[in-house]
Amino acid sequence: MRKIFFILLSLGLALCSYAQTEQQAAMERIRADKGYRWGEARSASYDEAREKAREDLISKMKTVIVSESKMENDEFSNKTSALTIGNIENLSEIYYKEGSDYICMVYVSAADMRRAEEERMETIKEFIDLGKTQEANLNISEALKYYVWALRMLNLYEDNVKIATDGGERMAKTWLSNHIPAMLSSITINIPEEKIVEDPDSYDRYLVNIEAKYNGQPVSMLDLSYFNGQKMISPVHCKSGEGVFAFHDLDAIKNISARILYDYAQEGRNYSPTVSSVYPKGFERLSFDDRAALNLPLNVKKDKTKKSESVAEVTDAPVEASDANAVADAAPVVKAPVTTIARPFEKDATKYNDMMRRVEEAIRNKSYLSVKDAFTPEGFKLFEIMMGSGSVTVAKKDIEFTVEKSGRFIVGKSIPVAVKTGNHVSRENIVFRFDETEGKISSVAYALSQRAESDIFKEASWSMDSRYALLQFMEDYQTAFALKRLEYIASIFSDDAMIITGSVKPQAKKRFYKAGEIKGASFEKQVKYTKFDKDTYIQKLKEDFRRKSFIQLVFEDTYISKAAVPEGLIDNEVIWIELNQKYESSNYSDRGYLALQINLRPVGSEINVRTWTPYFIPMKDLKKAFPIGGN
């Protein structure tokens, strides 16, 4: 036995020696090959040896000219090469143990470096394209986010990126440096006539309504912060051109100090290693703070209404007219509003308006039981859930109601409210659905954003009833998350529904859709997709609802396609709807594209397919990937 043991021990030592020799030979080959960049270190700890080898590689790159790293005949700078290596997550490595020390080499090929640099430059261009799309749709918060991420990457990495503009090819850094401050100067914040609403039962008893516009048009989305007399409150989300600031006391406040949010550091750190690299600890702020600072005169006393406007004072430093390119760079990227079909307004809406006014008064007085007779039993139960979801306050003094009536649907609009949950305040509009038989309110919901609703009612050849059915379904879907209505969400998914959720992997280098890459439930390698059955998905939502103090969904950029049907709303009319979804909660936020395949019915519509991706998927590819329900 002892003989066998020594034979095995000798064999093991020989193998270790052979492996060590092989590793040494591999290191020698790397050192001799000019196509590689490498760093090397020795330490008693493997982790320490690897980290020191990485530092050695980066240090060498700061002093060696990488003449091989060229693109478009321009040599990359040493700084760019060193930073690129510093942010390549998976450097190759070789190591072996010599005595009590580890010898470790990390290395990267010049080809991999060029590839990483090219991918980063492509990402910068894609960020700018995304920003332009969001700006055109008046989603100013998202446009600023993508533009600033692109500019910060250009500032740090010094990449030579050019983009196409209406005025010809321009350097991306120059265009962004002119365009971002011009965008900030094109934002106006007004305090309209109905300036302050008081709710004595709430700690933040004063609500100051604001209107937000970009280039004269109501913004779709904009994020602000403001000083409430004690601390900065951030973020405040303006939706469909409206937002609200909450205050405990206004006696000493003559001007509201506010700020346009444009630099999304935390989202950037979560987005990818490359974007995270532009937000190190103690990162420097960009030079746009003077444009982002707002000063809102509060010149109307409490409980009084004076017709005037308080316009935000924004530092205005116009571009010199002599620089024609800079003037062109500053021009807003805004598309014309969607042309919509005429809405069927009810002419004799007195009884419906009277019910909505009663509900408005009940919300102001917190006397909800006083309007129980205005609701069906199911409608009042939902109204109670809504009123119990937070501190709900009517956000305007004088409200004008409208009623739309189309075949099977009677819709009343709307009561603007501020919903406060903890430190979060959302601005919503409560819409009403009336039961024609009983003449009562059968349900309530939070309205979609104006742009999302306009997309449903844009000019196209499908029935009015179908539009209202889809509008009501999406309003109920959005509201169910805000009110954490788990049973309702379970009820709107078919038993065999296909439910796919996605999350961007932290290491992802490529995040955007390429045509033809949809295959079943895996749209893109760098995004982790998880397929759920209905029961598993509902259990996941149950846990989300338990952990989050609030959830807010906002939909924009709506795309709709339907199966060919003769006309009118019929049972199982299949609708595909894809929306740009902003998901905000107490501990997590993201933005991506939600797509739903719905069997649309007057009552009891069901979802067959639900997908989420961080990027837009063309509708034809969704329909090809999920050919369910007669697509």
Q: Per mean pLDDT, which of 87-91, 129-133, 529-533 is the most reliable?
A: 129-133
pLDDT of 25 reads: 86
Q: Pseudo-torsion of CA 150, 153, 157, 161, nearest 10°?
A: 0
Among 312, 330, 348, where does a domain finish? 330
The reply to whether 542 and 606 lie within a common domain is yes
Q: Is residue 399 part of a domain?
A: yes
The reply to whether 347 and 326 lie within a common domain is no
Q: To which residue do tokens 């690129």 refer?
A: 84
Asked if 458 contacts 340 with a C-beta cutoff of 8 angstroms, the reply is: yes
Structure tokens at 118: 């090219």
Q: Is residue 9 part of a domain?
A: no
Residue 528: pLDDT band (50, 70, 90) is low
Domain count, the chain: 4
The reply to whether 250 and 366 lie within a common domain is no
Full residue range of the structural domain in which residue 611 is found:
462-631
Asked if 360 contacts 387 with a C-beta cutoff of 8 angstroms, the reply is: no
pLDDT of 485 reads: 96
Which of 522, 516, 552 minimizes the C-alpha distance to 624?
Answer: 516
The reply to whether 521 and 626 lie within a common domain is yes
Global confidence as pTM: 0.75
| Helix, strand, or coil (residue 552) | strand
pLDDT tens digits along 407-432: 889 999 999 998 888 778 888 999 99
pLDDT of 284 reads: 86
For the cut 50, the answer to whether the pLDDT of residue 598 exceeds it is yes
Q: Is residue 177 part of a domain?
A: no
pLDDT of 69 reads: 43
pLDDT of 592 reads: 82
Report how far apart, in Å, the C-alpha atoms of 499 and of each of 534, 576, 612 are: 7, 14, 9
For the cut 60, the answer to whether the pLDDT of residue 14 exceeds it is no
Among 74, 90, 114, where does a domain finish? 114
Q: Is residue 12 part of a domain?
A: no
Residue 299: pLDDT band (50, 70, 90) is low
State the Cα–Cα distance between residues 448 and 580, nearest whole angstrom. Answer: 12
For the cut 70, the answer to whether the pLDDT of residue 144 exceeds it is yes
Q: Is residue 4 part of a domain?
A: no
State the Cα–Cα distance between residues 355 and 372, nearest whole angstrom. Answer: 11
Q: Is residue 230 part of a domain?
A: yes
Q: pLDDT exceeding 70 applies to what percent of the chain?
A: 81
Among 280, 304, 330, where does a domain finish? 330
The reply to whether 467 and 615 lie within a common domain is yes
Q: Is residue 179 part of a domain?
A: no
Q: What share of the chain is helix, strand, coil (3-state, %, to 5)?
A: 35, 30, 35
The reply to whether 468 and 608 lie within a common domain is yes
The reply to whether 469 and 574 lie within a common domain is yes
Helices 110-136 and 78-86: crossing angle in degrees, nearest 10, is: 90
Count other C-beta atoms under 10 Å from residue 536's C-beta: 12
The reply to whether 562 and 617 lie within a common domain is yes
pLDDT of 285 reads: 85
For the cut 70, the answer to whether the pLDDT of residue 235 exceeds it is yes
The CB-side HSE value for 272 (13 A sphere, CA atoms) comes to 22
| Buried b or exposed e, range 557-590, using 16+ CB within 10 angstroms | bbbbebeebeeebeeebbbbbbbbbbbbbeeeeb
Asked if 158 contacts 79 with a C-beta cutoff of 8 angstroms, the reply is: yes
pLDDT tens digits along 245-255: 988 888 888 88
**Residue 403: left if φ>0, alpha if ψ -120 to 50, beta else—which one?**
beta
Question: CATH code at 342?
Answer: 3.10.450.50
The reply to whether 439 and 489 lie within a common domain is no
Q: Per mean pLDDT, which of 17-31, 58-72, 84-98 is the most reliable?
A: 17-31
Mean pLDDT of 569-590: 79
pLDDT of 516 reads: 36
Q: Which residue has the higher pLDDT, 75 or 377?
A: 377
pLDDT of 340 reads: 87
Window from 176-180, 502-506, 593-597 with minimum mean pLDDT: 502-506
pLDDT tens digits along 489-507: 999 999 999 998 766 554 4
Asked if 119 contacts 141 with a C-beta cutoff of 8 angstroms, the reply is: no
Q: pLDDT exceeding 90 applies to what percent of the chain?
A: 35
| Helix, strand, or coil (residue 495) | strand
Mean pLDDT of 32-37: 84
pLDDT of 487 reads: 95
The reply to whether 275 and 371 lie within a common domain is no
Which of 566, 576, 565, 572 minimizes the C-alpha distance to 611?
Answer: 576
pLDDT of 318 reads: 42
Mean pLDDT of the chain: 81
pLDDT of 156 reads: 84
Structure tokens at 426: 């959302």
The reply to whether 348 and 293 lie within a common domain is no
Q: Which residue has the higher pLDDT, 118 or 481?
A: 481
Q: Is residue 134 part of a domain?
A: no
Mean pLDDT of 198-224: 87
Window from 109-113, 263-267, 379-383, 446-450 with minimum mean pLDDT: 109-113
pLDDT of 505 reads: 54
pLDDT of 63 reads: 54
The reply to whether 199 and 287 lie within a common domain is yes
For the cut 70, the answer to whether the pLDDT of residue 308 exceeds it is no
pLDDT of 423 reads: 74
Residue 614: pLDDT band (50, 70, 90) is confident
Question: CATH code at 54?
Answer: 3.10.28.20
State the Cα–Cα distance between residues 108 and 38, nearest whole angstrom. Answer: 7
